[in-house]
Amino acid sequence: KGACFLNILAPCPRGWRYDAENIMDICKAAADTCFWPMYEVENGEKWTLSYEPKKKLPIEDFLKLQGRFRHLLQPGKEEQVAQFQAEVDRRWETLLKKCSL
């Protein structure tokens, strides 16, 4: 009944600077830190969470797996990482509210 849109995470070993054999670790960390939540929206109205981490991990667990974020894990960058975490948390809470309607 109509079109379907999939928004998937497609990690890039070269661009994201990680070893290709770690792709599943990257994907799992994206979901477990809520950086890339998994959910469905039906007819623009019904929001359903497809996966909820048993224990939500800090965003650093996702960032540290990738060379492209190495600069954020340097001393003195704690505020930037805290802002990143706050945005991930804000978006996650918004999603949870939409899924509970």
Q: Over 26-76, what HEC string results?
A: HHHHHHHCCCCCEEEEECCCEEEEEECCCCCCCCHHHHCCCHHHHHHHCCC
For residue range 17-28, what is the model confidence (pLDDT) as tens digits? 999 999 999 999
Above 90 in pLDDT, residue 2? no
For residue range 48-71, what is the model confidence (pLDDT) as tens digits? 999 999 999 999 999 999 999 999
Above 90 in pLDDT, residue 13? yes
Number of Cβ atoms within 10 Å of the Cβ of 90:
10
Q: What is the pLDDT of residue 101?
A: 78
Q: What is the pLDDT of residue 3?
A: 83
